[in-house]
Structures are given as C-alpha cells and as structure tokens.
Amino acid sequence: MTIADTRANTRANTFAQSAVLVADREVRMRLRSKAFIISSVILLLAVIASIVAGSIFGASASSATTRVAVVGDSAALTQISSLEITEAGSVDEAETLVRAGDVEAAIVPGDGPTGIRILALDKAPGELVQLLSASPEVTLLEPAAQNSGLAYLVGLGFGIVFFMAATLFGTTIAQSVVEEKSTRVVEILMSAISARALLAGKVIGNTILAFGQIVLIAAAAIVGLVVTGQDALLGDLGPSIVWFVVFFAVGFVLLAALFASAAALVSRQEDIGSVTTPVMMLVMIPYFLIVFAWDNDLVLTIMSYVPFSAPIGMPMRIYLGTAEWWEPLLSLLIILATTVVVVLFGSKIYANSLLRTGARVKVLDALRG
C-alpha cells in the first residue's frame, strides 16, 4: 500500500467517524426534545385512531338492521341479514306494530306490479325500498380493484404522513444549520471536522429518526389492522406500506440535503422561510396532487416517477394494483440517482456557504465557491 492510499484511507475513516459523531449528536438532541416527542406521539395516535374509527364505523354499518313486520310468506326475506323480521297475522296487526314503534315498517300484500306494498309511519324507509327494488344486472367492463372511498383515505394517509414527517424533520435541519451559523458554533465544529462530514452527519441522523418514526407508524398501522380484525384490508395494504417506508427512506435523504444546503445560504432564523420555500413546495405539491387527483391514473403514474412525489405516487399505485412488478424498482433507481446528484451539489453549496455570514449567499456564488 502506498502512502497516498494510506492517506486516503485515513481521510475516509476520519470522514466516517466524524459523520457518525454528528449523527449521534443529532439523534440525541431530537430525542431530548419535548416538541419532537409530542409531535411523534400525536402522529402515531392519529394513525391508530383512524384505524380504530374505521373499524367501528365499518362494524356499525355492517351490523345495522331494519325491523320490519311481514304479512304472508317471509322465507325469502329472512335471507337478508340487514332485516329483523317479525311475522304478522294480518295487515291490521302489521299496521298496529308500525304505529306502536315495534317495527320501522311493514311489508304487506299489494295490488301493484310487485305484489307487495310497504307501510311506514311518517316517511318512506329508503334502505328497505332499495332492498326490495328489482335491480338490473350490472356488468363492469373495467372493474375497480379497490373501493373508491377506501382508496381515497389510503392516499390521503400516505400524503399526510409524508408531508408531516418531511416538514417536521426538514424544518428541524434548516433551523439547526442556521442556529449553528448565527452562534458561530459551526466555526468550532469545522475546526475539527469537514463541512461535508457535518452535512452527512445531519442528514444521516435525521434520516434515522424520520425512518424510525415511519417504521413505527407502519408497525402501529399493521398491528391496528390485525387487532381490529381488518385482515383483508391488511392483505391489500401491506405491500404498499412496505414500499412507502422504502421510498420514504431514500426520498428523505434527498429532501434533507436540500433543506440543509438551502439553510446554509442564510445566517438568520428569520430568513429560513425565504430559502426553504422552494423545498417546501416540493413537499406540498405531491400532497395536494394525491388529495385532488388520487383517482387519476395519468397523474399517479407521473408522480410515481418524479423523485419528490414517488414516495406517495408509487405506493398508491401498488395499492390500486395499477403498477407492474418492475415499476417500483425503476422508480427507486431514479430516486437513488437523483439523490446522489442532489447530495453532491448540496454538499458543495453547504460547504461553500457555511462560513459566510451577513447577507444571503446566492446559489451560483455558493456553487462557484
């Protein structure tokens, strides 16, 4: 081994050790923050509450029954689980039961085409009318793979979790960078480690925290679905949750590098918003797209290949069953390649701006060094 190789290995070891130290510092600081713990608990409880609420409302909707009195043959009606049948000996008896409130409606013989008529007290029972109506046979040429209402809630869930986690940790990184610049702590840090090691440590530390939070939320969602008996939904939702965690882990590294490099351009907390707004837009746009275009296959397909929206778009398409087996892999490769490029440019901007105080540093000046 040559002297040059030895020096290169030493620099690599020093860089890795420095990055690990900074990452450890970032993790410890966040775990000691009450705001971080409270926000994480609130997000976790919101996910669990939504699953429990869905189970309760679904159970109540499925168990709701209509009490009806029937005059004549009731054998066919007893097969309908949503009806609670009370046999009446005559029309007058059925009418008495309705007036007394013992039943909600009565089905009695009639002279119309259907041969029956419904007795109700003050309004027509819509659900009972629909049950007794003769419906034509329906053939769907392109049947939906999932329930539309449930699909919207799944997309909304992915969007909210991605938006909140990326915003929370991205803002934290930006504030940390500017705080170190304004207090000149960064000058002390850079006397011991390189700027790139400092950036790497911040990105790694916050990515570990964000990834851990997402994994915890995913685990809570899976356990909640199992405990509440929604195993069928878990079978459909499980693969998309796993891919969401994978895409988020890679996509957050990209966003973290952008937040850190953007924050390095300014020296005051008041100026953070002006430089991080473009990055925030990259986080907000996918959220609004999934809210308003969750059922648009073209929009979802484009989202699944754009690095900043793929963590939402691709898991949603996997859940809907519209993505081929190779598409998540291709999308992941695109995100990885984009992340490498962004990290390289971001580290250059970060390193060239970190020690500049006063006026805001222009991006081109930071790139030129």
106 and 25, same structural domain?
no
What are the two backbone dihedrals, phi and then psi, of residue 150, each rounded to the nearest 5 degrees? -65, -40
172 and 117, same structural domain?
no
Entry pTM: 0.74
Residue 83: both structure tokens together: 């009806």
pLDDT tens per residue across all 369 residues of the chain: 554 454 445 455 588 888 888 899 889 988 888 877 887 888 788 878 877 776 666 555 455 677 888 887 655 565 566 677 888 888 888 888 888 888 888 888 877 766 778 888 777 776 777 766 655 565 555 555 566 777 888 888 888 889 988 998 899 899 989 988 888 888 888 888 888 888 899 999 999 998 888 888 888 888 877 777 776 667 778 889 899 999 999 999 999 999 999 999 998 889 898 999 999 999 999 999 998 988 899 999 999 999 999 999 999 999 988 899 999 999 999 999 999 999 999 889 998 888 887 778 888 888 886
Does residue 266 fall inside a structural domain? yes
Does residue 3 fall inside a structural domain? no
Does residue 129 fall inside a structural domain? no
Q: What is the pLDDT of residue 250?
A: 92
CATH number at residue 100: 3.40.190.10
CA 356, CA 342: separation in Å to the nearest integer? Answer: 21
Q: What is the pLDDT of residue 11?
A: 52
324 and 211, same structural domain?
yes
297 and 228, same structural domain?
yes
212 and 191, same structural domain?
yes
Does residue 158 fall inside a structural domain? yes
97 and 212, same structural domain?
no
71 and 53, same structural domain?
no
CA 159, CA 153: separation in Å to the nearest integer? Answer: 10
150 and 117, same structural domain?
no
Does residue 116 fall inside a structural domain? yes
Tell me how many domains the chain contains.
Answer: 2
115 and 30, same structural domain?
no
275 and 175, same structural domain?
yes
Q: What is the pLDDT of residue 205?
A: 92
Looking up tokens 């000058």, which residue turns up?
187
Does residue 133 fall inside a structural domain? no
Angle between helix axes 34-63 and 148-182 (nearest 10 degrees) is 170
Q: Which domain holds residue 117?
A: 67-123
Does residue 139 fall inside a structural domain? no
Does residue 327 fall inside a structural domain? yes
Contact status, residue 38 vs residue 210, Cβ threshold 8 Å: no
**Furthest-apart CA pair in the chain: how many Å?**
107
Q: What is the pLDDT of residue 193?
A: 86
Nearest to 131, CA basis, from 79, 87, 89: 79
218 and 102, same structural domain?
no
- Strand arrangement of the beta sheet that strand 66-71 belongs to: 83-88, 66-71, 105-109, 116-120
192 and 110, same structural domain?
no
